[in-house]
Amino acid sequence: MSEVRVNDFVLKIGTVNGTGSASANGMILKALFRMGIPVTGKNLFPSNIQGLPTWYGIRANHAGYMSRSKQVDVMVAMNAQTYQKDLDNVTAGGFLIYDSTWPRERQLNRDDITVLGVPLAKLCNENFSDARVRILMKNIAYVGVLAALLNIETAVLRSLIEETFASKPKLIESNLKAINLGFNYAMENFTCPLPIRVERMGDNSEHIMIDGNSAAALGCIYAGATVGAWYPITPSTSMMDAFKAYCKQFRIDEETGQKNYCIVQAEDELAAAGMVIGANWVGARAFTPTSGPGISLMSEFIGFAYYAEIPSVFFNVQRVGPSTGMPTRTQQCDIMMCAYASHGDTRHPLLFPANPYECFEMAVSSFDLAERLQTPVFVLSDLDIGMNDWMIPELKWDDSYRPDRGKVLDADEVDELEKFYRYLDVDGDGIAARTLPGENAKGAYFVRGSGHNKHGMYTESSAEYKDLVDRLLVKWNTARTLLPKPVLKNAQKETPIGIIAYGSSDGAVVEALDTLRDKGIHADYLRVRAFPFHGEVTSFVENHETVFVVEQNRDAQMRSLLTLETDIDARKLVPVLHYSGMPIPSECVVEGLCEYLCVEDVA
């Protein structure tokens, strides 16, 4: 390959889990980011602590495409175990870099790619004495190699190292030494840079790099959430880790050292749900991060909170199911479960963030919605959004924001009433006022999951039962008006083709739209951001002849939900599905549409 390609490639690094490659990979990602190039980093890791193969994929793309690409232009094969597989995965014309301390001539059986051997272990063994340091520095050394090969600015790497180890100057020295070892070796032995290379595009000063779980945790901080109850589960765990870290930074009283937060690691997900509901009942904003199996366990309480009308926020960072499934792989597979979680007639508002930016925004609004609607609200993220590194516009905060606590009567307001009735719909929006414990005996009421009437009293009367559950439907329609609207992206030309997608499938669709346009296929795109569906979702389908519903599960769950909850003609909705556990690439969308529309020459 000789054609020069600037700021458009996929770099993949294969290492062994637990060898400390994360900091090296993060360094490359950030260096590219600081050079103003749009980047994303996706971690493909096993359900394991140490020893199994792990890959990190970095996509740099001047057009800003964020989805996973199937392409591998440059592969760094650091894991002998997966060497052959890594070699096979390189796209024709691409490059493979391996540790040539142990020559592998017999395995270099591809003549359509360029193989570059760097004696990384040898270089590090000669230059570092400590065994653990040698292993770690081998990773940093390949960063140096890549800097030379890809034209990454060494000054950027230097400042990254200096910032990272500001408090440990000795580490700055060794890291810089390792970078230079790799860099110099590449400069002396190869033609640098490669045709695949980077060039500075700016400085990305309006953007940040963040994962969705951190962004969601930050949203909880900014929403004023104080109680977090959880049970550890991949891939949601890092959300509570982040919440805890931000709490330590922002929520410890300077004078007293006391914590303005309360995080409880529950005994299981059932208890976590109970704690969230208990805390919200007394008036504290509380949430739980979990994943599919957790929602299964929480479902009894979710139905309780729906019927007893207690605000609560559930973050479901989805992973591959069913059952334990593949805990470290991504899917959008809990749509149906969350929409109707629990026994009896239950329905819950769902929010679908498409990236960490929306994780932050929707985390904040989920608390407002939960308290306004007095019901469980789900934020449905997934492993791809939650745990991968995304480049997003800088988060903004409006200091005039105040939480919407919904209809809560304080002690004085209760005093003004002749009598307080918990479930009386005074305003006609299906939402009754609540009171908080500890304030006024006159406002006391009894929360129960058993039959209750609008006065909050136990009932077994058919009429009273129906009266209450019918009001919950009025509230459901109020919810429709409060949830975030879908986002419409119209094609340049009028077209009978539409695409509906949500959450982390967004990036693949956005990229596919351009590819399809170049093939002469124009499609309007509507990104659904919430359930119950906004009226625009129905009209979008009505206004198109064929609507492709792109999602990451086997059973076309969003498509099912659309057909169940609207009077859309199901025959119009064509599923485009991706459920391998890897984030959906744009090729899947392109192929899905082309196949259906019988277009030749599918790239």
Partner 1 sequence: MSFIKKPKIDLPGQLANKIGLLKRDYEGVLSTLCAGCGHDSITAAIVQAFWELSIPPEQVIKLSGIGCSSKTPAYFLSGAHGFNSVHGRMPSVATGAQAGNRDLICIGVSGDGDSLSIGFGQFGHAVRRNLNMLYIIENNGVYGLTKGQFSAAADKGSKSKRGDINQWKNIDAVSTAISMGSSFVARSFSGDREQLVTLIKAGIMHPGCAILDVVSPCVTFNNHVGSTKSYTYTRDHYHPAGQTDFIPPTSEIMVSYAEGDSTVVELHDGSKLLLKKAGSGYDATDRSRVMRYLEQQRARGEVVTGLLFINAELPEMHRIYRTSETPMKDLDFEKLNPGSEALQKLQAGMR
Binding to partner 1 in span 2-31, by CB under 8 A: 30
Those residues whose C-beta lies under 8 Å from the C-beta of residue 412, and which sit 6 or more positions away, are none
- Ramachandran category for residue 276: left, alpha or beta (phi over 0 → left; psi -120 to 50 → alpha): alpha
Q: Of 259, 343, 466, 485, which lies in the binding site for partner 1, with binding defined by CB under 8 A?
A: 259
Closer to partner 1 by Cβ: residue 103 or 344: 344
Q: Token match 């949430």: residue?
A: 287
Q: Of 191, 258, 323, 462, which lies in the binding site for partner 1, with binding defined by CB under 8 A?
A: 258
Binding to partner 1 in span 462-491, by CB under 8 A: none
Judged by CB under 8 A, the stretch of 4-12, 127-135, 273-281, 289-297 that binds partner 1 is 273-281
Beta carbons of 38 and 66 less than 8 angstroms apart = yes
Residues 565-580 as b/e (b if ≥16 CB within 10 A, e otherwise) read ebebeeebbbbbbbbe
Q: Among 316, 326, 295, which Cα is nearest to 579's?
A: 326
By rule CB under 8 A, what count of residues binds partner 1?
80
Q: Of 450, 492, 494, 603, which lies in the binding site for partner 1, with binding defined by CB under 8 A?
A: 450
344 in contact with partner 1 (CB under 8 A): no
365 in contact with partner 1 (CB under 8 A): no
448 in contact with partner 1 (CB under 8 A): yes
Residue 175 tokens, joined: 């890291």
Q: Token match 């470290």: residue?
A: 328
416 class by beta-carbon count within 10 Å (0-12 exposed, 13-18 middle, 19+ buried): exposed
Closer to partner 1 by Cβ: residue 112 or 345: 345
210 in contact with partner 1 (CB under 8 A): yes
Binding to partner 1 in span 579-598, by CB under 8 A: none
Q: Among 229, 152, 431, which Cα is nearest to 310's?
A: 431
Closer to partner 1 by Cβ: residue 303 or 498: 303
444 in contact with partner 1 (CB under 8 A): yes
Q: How far is the CB of 396 from partner 1 (least distance, A)?
A: 7
Q: Of 279, 383, 508, 584, which lies in the binding site for partner 1, with binding defined by CB under 8 A?
A: 279
Q: Of 48, 173, 426, 458, which lies in the binding site for partner 1, with binding defined by CB under 8 A?
A: 458
128 in contact with partner 1 (CB under 8 A): no
Binding to partner 1 in span 34-53, by CB under 8 A: 34
Angle (CA) 588-592-597 rounded to 5° is 150
Q: Token match 């959906």: residue?
A: 584
Residues 518-547 as b/e (b if ≥16 CB within 10 A, e otherwise) read ebebbbbbbbbbbbbbbeebeebbeebebb
Q: How far apart are the two ends of the chain, measured CA to CA in Å?
A: 19
Angle (CA) 325-346-465 rounded to 5° is 155
Binding to partner 1 in span 285-314, by CB under 8 A: 286, 300-301, 304
Q: How far is the CB of 401 from partner 1 (least distance, A)?
A: 8
Q: Measure the CA–CA gap between 288 and 277, rounded to whole angstroms.
A: 10
Q: How far is the CB of 300 from partner 1 (least distance, A)?
A: 5
Judged by CB under 8 A, the stretch of 54-62, 218-226, 365-373, 593-601 that binds partner 1 is 218-226
Q: How far is the CB of 438 from partner 1 (least distance, A)?
A: 5
Binding to partner 1 in span 135-164, by CB under 8 A: none
Q: How far is the CB of 203 from partner 1 (least distance, A)?
A: 8
Q: Among 336, 361, 371, 368, which Cα is nearest to 350's?
A: 336
Q: How far is the CB of 326 from partner 1 (least distance, A)?
A: 28
Q: How far is the CB of 268 from partner 1 (least distance, A)?
A: 7
Q: Of 404, 413, 439, 467, which lies in the binding site for partner 1, with binding defined by CB under 8 A?
A: 439
Closer to partner 1 by Cβ: residue 252 or 473: 252
Binding to partner 1 in span 389-428, by CB under 8 A: 394-399, 401-403
Q: How far is the CB of 206 from partner 1 (least distance, A)?
A: 10
Beta carbons of 68 and 57 less than 8 angstroms apart = yes
Q: Measure the CA–CA gap between 219 and 207, rounded to whole angstroms.
A: 17
Q: Of 18, 93, 224, 484, which lies in the binding site for partner 1, with binding defined by CB under 8 A?
A: 224
Closer to partner 1 by Cβ: residue 444 or 570: 444
Beta carbons of 198 and 150 less than 8 angstroms apart = yes
Q: Measure the CA–CA gap between 594 and 603, rounded to whole angstroms.
A: 10
Binding to partner 1 in span 186-205, by CB under 8 A: 204-205
